[in-house]
A = this chain, B = another copy of it.
Amino acid sequence: MMNFADRLIDAIRKKKSCVCVGLDPRLDLIPQEIVHQYDIFDYDINIQAGYVIRDFCNAVIDAVADDAVAVKPQSAFFEQYGWPGVQALEQIVNYAQQKGLLVILDVKRSDIASTAEAYAKAFFKGRDISADAITVNPYLGMDSLEPFIKLCTDEGKGLFVLVKTSNPGSKDFQDALLQDNRKLYELVAEKVGQAGQKLVGKEGYSSIGAVVGATFPQEAETIRKLMPKTIFLVPGYGAQGAKAEDLKDYFNTDGLGVIINASRSIIFAGAKSTNWQGEIKKAAKEMKEEIGRVTRKA
């Protein structure tokens, strides 16, 4: 299979978009017309939830397929409904891929290599799903990433390693000041960037990307210098407060190297509207255009 970074850059060029839509379904914000399809039956509450979030996410996928390059299902919002939630997750991963979207499964997993191998199987080589990329946490060290990197090499998969996250508490450890005057996230950026060298595709970007929160533009500038060939997955747009103009320095001079994720501001854009699917489509399109106006090149 083609290098993940090449597949992603290809989609970005074709759709003129670097929008990633986060699929974080919350039952209380899902249109009642979907909920009512299932609450007439005497289903187990988790099984009912599984059907509802599946149908909602599939409708979101339909609405954003033209304007987004990827969707990022947040595993926690599915796992909270137990195995029926995980079944729903598997179904929407497949549906999004059928609709031509790349799927970045947001699982932020981390474990020692022998266990990471089982996670790699779970998300990349399962009989039922094969995500295009996943998010991972680097705290356990580079050997813990090896089983995932192997599937990036062998099967065209992608990784986004947490470098600097969008939450305020990211300062606690990610900003820890090292003896060489750098912060921890700079060391992580350096090592992850090095590991990514081997996976640089034809477009000049690596299949090993980095998560860099939209709420820290200064840090992003530093990280960009350390990781010029790295695609940043940028969460925190919209509901978490970041705007398009904050994100200029996340991009490379070629206008590439970034995908920006918004979840709540897109998928619940129509929560109170009868035309909710239309509102979701509109929100995704507007986000694409807002970002397009500030990137250095088209």
Interface residues of A (CB under 8 A from B): 24, 44-46, 74, 76-77, 79-87, 90, 108-113, 115-116, 118-119, 121-122, 126-129, 137-144, 162, 165-174, 176-179, 181, 184, 187-188, 191
Q: A139-B174, A140-B169 are in contact. List 8 more A-B contacts (CB 8 A).
A: A74-B115, A77-B115, A83-B90, A137-B139, A141-B169, A142-B169, A172-B191, A178-B178
- For the residues of A in contact with B, the DSSP-based class is helix
* Distance from A208 Cβ to chain B, minimum over Cβ atoms (Å): 15
The smallest C-beta distance from A86 to any residue of chain B, in angstroms, reads 4
Q: Are B76 and A82 neighbours in the complex by a CB distance under 8 Å?
A: no
With A and B bound together, what is the CA distance between A170 and B145 in angstroms? Answer: 11
**Cβ of A112: which chain B residues have Cβ within 8 Å of it?**
165-167
Residue ID in chain B nearest A138 by CB atoms: B173
How many chain copies does the complex carry? 2
User: In the complex, are the beta carbons of A176 and B178 less than 8 A apart?
Assistant: yes
B residues near A187, Cβ cutoff 8 Å: 173, 176
